Chains A and B, each alone.
Chain A
Amino acid sequence: MSNTRGASVVFDGVQKSYDGENLVVKNLNLDIAHGEFLTMLGPSGSGKTTCLMMLAGFEPATHGEIYLNGNPINNVPPHKRGIGMVFQNYALFPHMSVAENLAFPLKVRGMGKAESEERINRALDMVELGAFGSRRPAQLSGGQQQRVAVARALVFDPELVLMDEPLGALDKQLREQMQYEIKHIHDNLGVTVVYVTHDQTEALTMSDRVAVFNDGIIQQLSPPDVLYESPDNSFVAQFIGENNKLAGSVVEIGKGVCTVKLDDGTIVQADPVNVHNVGDRTSVSLRPERIEVAPDNSPDNLVDGKIEEMIYLGDHIRVRMNVAGNNEFIVKVRNRRDKRPISAGDVVKVGWDAADAKALDEAI
C-alpha cells in the first residue's frame, strides 16, 4: 500500500435514503487508502451497491460528505470524477467495436489519435485480447467481454476503479481465473479498487480489506484472514465461511475466556468477543475445520456428538453431527489414512480449543 498512484477515498458520515423514510445506508464512515483493494461484501439490499453509486456520482448522498484525494466530491458530476467503472453486465456499447469502446473515454478527453491507439493496444494486451479490437461485443464470450470491460475502465488511467459485481455473470471456473487476473492487474497498476460483491470467496481471495455490509451498516472492516478467524459479530461469522452455532448464556466471564452454559446444559469455554456480562445470551461460533473428532490431545472443550450423516468429498469428509442439541453441527474431518473409522450412528467425542470458539452476540 506504499504505492501512491491510487486515489484515497473517505466516506464521512454518509447517509442515504431513497424514500425519505428508510435509510439504506446508515452513517457510513470509511477510509480507503491509496492503492488499496477494498471489497464491499454483503447480501443484496445491504447498501453496498448504493455506496458504490454514491462514490461514482450516480446517486447523491442524502447526508455526509465523500472525499476523493482529500477533495469533497458531492457536487462533482460523475463525468468529472475520473473514476473508472466496471459494471455488472459490463455495459459494453453494443453498437461499437471493442476498440471503439476503449477509444470512447479517450475521445471524450480529446486525446490524439496516435496516443489513443497506443493506449488501446496496451490495454487490450493487458487483458490478452490484442487481436480482438475490431470485434463487436456480441461476438465475444462472457469472459472476453468481462476483460474488455476491465480494459475500458482502465484505459484512461483512472486513479480509482469501481467494480460492481463484475464476475457475477461468469461460470465458476472463469470467475476464479478472472479473480486472479483482476488481482494481478491491481498489483501491477497500483490503482485503488473498490469492489462490490456478494460472493465471500471473491472477497477473501482478492481484497486487502473487506467491509462486510448488512442493513446499511458496516458490520466489520478487516483483512480477509481476520474476518474469517475473528469475526466481530454473529452476522459476520455466519456470512463468511461455514460456521457452527451453539446458543447459550454466559455464566462466567474472565480475561480472554468465558464460560457458557449451552441451552441443553453443556458447559463450554469460549473467547468472549462481544459478550460483556454474566447472563448475556450468546451464540458460540465454531469453524468446522477447527473441531477434532476423538482428539488425541486434550482440548479445552470435549463433548459427546452423535454422527448423523457423512459425506465423502475427497480431500475431507463432511460429518453432520448432533452436538449439544444442534443436529446441524458440521465437522470437517481430514481424509487421513491412519484415521480410526467412524460411521453414521456412532457416538464420538468431539473437541475444540476455547480460542477457536467465539462467543458472539445472539444470532438472529
Chain B
Amino acid sequence: MSSSETMSVEEQLAAGQTEDGIVRAADGTPLKARLAKALRREKLRSFLMISPLLLFIVLSFLMPIGDMLLRSVENKIVQNTLPTVVQELERWDPASEELPDEATFAALATDLKIAVKERIHTRLGSRLNYEQSGFSGLFRSTGRAVRKMEEGPYKEQFIKADEDWGKLQTWVVLDSFKAPYTAGYFLNAVDAENTVDGVQMKAENERIYIQLFIRTMWMSLAITFMCLLLGYPVAYLLAHLPARTSNMLMILVLLPFWTSLLVRTSAWKVLLQGQGVINDLLVWVGFVDDADRLVLINNQTGTIIAMTHILLPFMILPLYSVMKTISPTYVRAAKSMGANDWTSFWKVYFPQSVPGIGAGAILVFILAIGYYITPALVGGTSGIFISNRIAFHISTSLNWGLAAALGAILLVLVLLLFYVYDKIVGIDNVKLG
C-alpha cells in the first residue's frame, strides 16, 4: 500500500495531492489559479500606480511619434486634390510609353478647377516638387490657365499651357504617387527614386543622405572611442582615489553637466576658431605657422572635439559606477601571484570593467547619433549629422514626410545596432550602477 492510499481525502487535500496530478489548494481549486488570483490584486495595484505615467507617455510621446512616422509613408494629397484623375490613371499603363488618353486630361481639368477654387493646387505642386523639381511651377502656371480653358479636347490645351504635361515623366511621377501610401519618401531618404524603369539610385552628384548616414555613424563611433580613451583613466581615478580627492574630481566631471549646452558649445567656438585661443597658442609656441592656422571648426574636427567634451560624463559615470564595485583585492591577488602592474590590470581589472565600457559606449553612441545642436553650431557643412538634415526638413523645407522617413531609418539603425551589440556584448553585461 502506498502512502497516499492510507491518507484520508482531507489529508490528501491538505498535503496538496490529488489523483490527477494537479496540485490543489485546500478548497480543491488548482493551486496555480489560486496563486494567480492572490497575485491579481498586487498586479492591479502596480498597474494603477504606473498608469498616470503610462497615459502621459502614450499621449505626449508615443502618439505624436507614431503620427510623425506615419507621415513618412502617408500620401493622401494626390488622391484628395485630383480624385478623378487618380481613377482615370488606373486604366493607364506607364510602360506603354504613351501619354494618358483624353479622358484623363478631361478629369484633370475637372479636378484642377475645383482645386483652384479651393486654392489647394499649389500645395500639391510643392508636394510633388519634392519628387521632381518643376512640379511647383507646373501647377502654379496650369492653375492660372485652367480657368480660361474651353470645353474639350483638353489634351492640347494642357500641353499648350505647359509643355511638361506632354512629357511622359510628369505622368509617371503623378501615377506613382496616386496611391494613398508611398515609399517615395523612403526612396528619397536613401538617395533612390522611382523612374519609368522602376526604382533607381539617383545621379552620383544628387546623392546626400546615404553619405550623411555613414558620416553620422562613423563620427559617432569616433566620438564614442574618444570618450572611452579620455574617460577610462578619469573613471579609474574617481573610483580609486581617497574619498576627499575623488569627490572633488567628481565635481569637476559634473561641472559641465550643470553648464548650459549652448554655453559650452559657444566656448568651443571661441577656442577652436582660426583666430581662437588654441591657434593663437600654437602659433605663439611655434608649432604652427601664422599663415596656415589649423582649421579646427566648421568641419568634422570641430564636431568631434566639441561633442567628445559634451558627452564625456556619459562615459565616465557608468564606468565609474562599475569600477567602484571592483574590489582592489583582485589586483592585489593578481600581484601576489606574480603578475606585474600591466598584466594585473589587463588580465584581471580590465575584463571586469567591460560592463561599464559597454554601458558608457552605448549611451554615448546613441546620444551622439541623434545629436543636433552641437554639430549645427560647430560642424559647418562637412561636420553636420543626419539629425541636422531632419531638422532642416522639419522647419525649413517643410518636407515632413522626408524628415519622418529619415527619422524612421535612424531609429531602425539604432535598434539594429542595439541588437548587434546585444549579440556581441550582451545587454545583461551592461551595468549603470
Contact = CB atoms under 8 A, between A and B. Distances in A.
B339 A104 contact: yes
Contact of B332 (A58, A80, A84, A108): A58
A56 B333 CA distance: 10
Interface in A66-92: 77-85, 87-89, 91
B329 A89 contact: yes
B351 interface: yes
Nearest to B352: A95
A16 interface: no
A105 B340 CA distance: 11
Contacts of B332: 56, 58, 78, 85, 87, 91
Smallest CB-CB A-B distances: 7 pairs: A105-B337, A91-B333, A85-B336, A91-B329, A78-B335, A95-B351, A108-B339
26 contacts: A57-B335, A58-B335, A77-B335, A78-B332, A78-B335, A78-B336, A79-B340, A84-B336, A85-B332, A85-B333, A85-B336, A87-B332, A89-B327, A91-B327, A91-B329, A93-B334, A94-B352, A104-B334, A104-B348, A105-B337, A105-B339, A108-B338, A108-B340, A109-B338, A153-B336, A153-B337
Contacts, number: 67
B167 interface: no
Interface string A154-186: 001000001000000000000000000000000
Contacts of B344: 79
B338 A79 contact: yes
B351 A152 contact: no
B347 interface: yes
Contacts of A153: 336-337
B284 interface: no
A104 B352 contact: no
Given A56-B336, A85-B332, 5 more contacts: A79-B341, A93-B352, A94-B352, A108-B338, A152-B337
A91 B351 CA distance: 15
Contact of A93 (B330, B340, B341): B330
A245 to B, nearest CB: 39
**Residue among B329, B336, B339, B343 with the most chain A CB within 10 A?**
B336
A209 B330 CA distance: 30
B131 to A, nearest CB: 55
Contacts of A85: 332-333, 336-337
A185 to B, nearest CB: 18
B335 A79 contact: yes
Contacts of A156: 337-338
Contacts of B347: 104
B220 to A, nearest CB: 28
Nearest to A149: B333
B341 to A, nearest CB: 8
Contacts of B339: 79, 104-105, 108
Interface of B: 327, 329-330, 332-341, 343-344, 347-348, 351-352
Contact of A82 (B330, B338, B351): B338
**Residue among A77, A79, A87 with the most chain B CB within 10 A?**
A79
Nearest to A78: B335
A162 B329 CA distance: 14
Nearest to B343: A108
B307 to A, nearest CB: 32
Interface string A215-252: 00000000000000000000000000000000000000
A347 B272 CA distance: 94
A95 B343 CA distance: 15
A57 to B, nearest CB: 8
Interface string A31-61: 0000000000000000000000000111000
B130 to A, nearest CB: 54
A77 B334 CA distance: 13
A104 B334 CA distance: 8
A83 B336 CA distance: 6
A56 B343 CA distance: 18
A88 B328 CA distance: 12
Contacts of A77: 335, 340
A94 B351 CA distance: 10
Nearest to B329: A91
A108 B346 CA distance: 12
Contacts of A93: 330, 333-334, 348, 352
Nearest to B348: A93
Contacts of B335: 57-58, 77-79
B15 to A, nearest CB: 31
Contacts of A88: 329
Given A91-B327, A91-B330, A108 B337 contact: yes
A87 B340 contact: no
A156 B337 CA distance: 8
B329 A87 contact: yes
B115 to A, nearest CB: 69
A91 B338 CA distance: 15
Contacts of A79: 335-341, 344
A263 to B, nearest CB: 47
B346 to A, nearest CB: 11
A74 to B, nearest CB: 16
A81 B337 CA distance: 9
Nearest to A109: B338
Contacts of B337: 79, 84-85, 104-105, 108, 152-153, 156
A88 B329 CA distance: 9
Nearest to B339: A108
B348 A105 contact: no
A104 B330 CA distance: 12
B330 A105 contact: no
Nearest to A100: B347
A56 B338 CA distance: 11
A341 B336 CA distance: 59
Nearest to B326: A94
A225 B92 CA distance: 110
A40 to B, nearest CB: 17
